[in-house]
Amino acid sequence: MGCSGCSTGRGSNNLPGGCKNNGGCDSGGCNKLNVFDWLSNMDNPSMANQPSLVEVRFKNGRKGYFENVEKLNLSIGDVVAVESSPGHDIGTISLIGELVRIQVAKKSVKPDEILKIYRKARQNDIDKWQDAMRLEKPTMTQARKYAIELGLNMKICDVEYQGDKTKATFYYTAEHRVDFRELIKIYASSFKIRIEMRQIGARQEASKLGGVGSCGRELCCSSWLTDFRSVTTSAARYQQLSLNPQKLAGQCGKLKCCLNFELDSYLDAVKDFPDSSVNLKTKEEEYFHFKTDIFKGIFWYICKQDRMKMVAVPVKRVKQLHAFNKKGEFPEELIEVIEEAPEDQEMDYLNVVGQDDLTRFDKLNKRKKKRPNQRKNNHSNQKKAQTREGGKFQGKGGKNTQHLKGDKPNQNRKQVQGGKPNSKRKNNRQPDKGRQPKQSDSPANKES
Q: Above pLDDT 70, what percent of the chain?
A: 65
Nearest CA to 170 among 146, 143, 147?
143
For residue 47, what pLDDT band results from cuts at 50, 70 and 90? low
Q: How large is the average pLDDT for residues 58-71?
A: 89
Per-residue confidence (pLDDT) for residue 416, from 0 to 100: 43
Per-residue confidence (pLDDT) for residue 349, from 0 to 100: 56
Q: How large is the average pLDDT for residues 408-430?
A: 48
Instruction: Tell me whether residue 284 is in a domain.
Output: yes
Q: Tell me which of 200, 226, 242 is where a domain ends.
A: 200
Nearest CA to 81 among 134, 126, 50?
126
Q: Above pLDDT 90, what percent of the chain?
A: 37
For residue 412, what pLDDT band results from cuts at 50, 70 and 90? very low
Instruction: Tell me whether residue 189 is in a domain.
Output: yes
Q: What burial letters (b/e) apply to 340-364, b meaning 16+ CB within 10 Å?
A: eeeeeeeeeeeeeeeeeeeeeeeee
Q: What is the pLDDT of residues 242-272, one digit of tens each?
A: 889 889 999 899 999 999 999 999 999 888 8
Q: Tell me which of 310, 327, 344 is where a domain ends.
A: 327
Domain hosting residue 304, numbered range:
280-327
List for the chain the helix, strand, coil content (%; round to 5): 30, 20, 50
For residue 98, what pLDDT band results from cuts at 50, 70 and 90? confident
Per-residue confidence (pLDDT) for residue 337, from 0 to 100: 55
Per-residue confidence (pLDDT) for residue 442, from 0 to 100: 46
Report how far residue 332's alpha carbon sits from residue 321's, in angstroms, rounded to the nearest whole number: 11
For residue 12, what pLDDT band results from cuts at 50, 70 and 90? very low
| pLDDT exceeds 70 at position 421 | no
* One domain for residues 49 and 113: yes
Nearest CA to 90 among 100, 81, 103?
81
Instruction: Tell me whether residue 375 is in a domain.
Output: no
Per-residue confidence (pLDDT) for residue 259, from 0 to 100: 93
| φ/ψ of residue 157, rounded to 5 | -90, -45
Instruction: Tell me whether residue 408 is in a domain.
Output: no
Per-residue confidence (pLDDT) for residue 445, from 0 to 100: 46
310-314 sheet: strands from edge to edge: 280-281, 286-293, 298-303, 310-314
Q: Select the highest-mean-pLDDT range: 33-42, 256-265, 358-367, 378-387.
A: 256-265
Instruction: Tell me whether residue 287 is in a domain.
Output: yes
Helix (H/G/I), strand (E/B), else coil: 292: strand
* One domain for residues 176 and 244: no
Which residues have CB under 8 Å from 15's CB, separation 6+?
22, 23, 130, 133
Per-residue confidence (pLDDT) for residue 393, from 0 to 100: 46
Interaxial angle between packed helices 136-149 and 123-134, expressed in degrees from 0 to 180 and rounded to the nearest 10: 40
Per-residue confidence (pLDDT) for residue 448, from 0 to 100: 36
Per-residue confidence (pLDDT) for residue 347, from 0 to 100: 57
* One domain for residues 183 and 217: no
Instruction: Tell me whether residue 413 is in a domain.
Output: no
Look up residue 374 and give its amino acid. Q
For residue 387, what pLDDT band results from cuts at 50, 70 and 90? low
Which residues have CB under 8 Å from 223's CB, separation 6+?
32, 33
Q: Output the DSSP codes for 93-125.
A: EEEESHHHHHHHHHTT--GGG-EEEEEE--HHH
Q: Output the DSSP codes for 255-288.
A: BPGGGGTSHHHHHHHHTTPPPTTSPEE-SS-EEE
Instruction: Tell me whether residue 429 is in a domain.
Output: no
For residue 397, what pLDDT band results from cuts at 50, 70 and 90? very low
Report how far residue 54's alpha carbon sits from residue 67's, in angstroms, rounded to the nearest whole number: 6
Q: Tell me which of 56, 90, 121 is where a domain ends.
A: 121
- Number of compact structural domains in the chain: 4
Q: What is the pLDDT of residues 173-196, one digit of tens each?
A: 998 899 999 999 999 999 999 999
Instruction: Tell me whether residue 153 is in a domain.
Output: yes
Per-residue confidence (pLDDT) for residue 367, from 0 to 100: 56
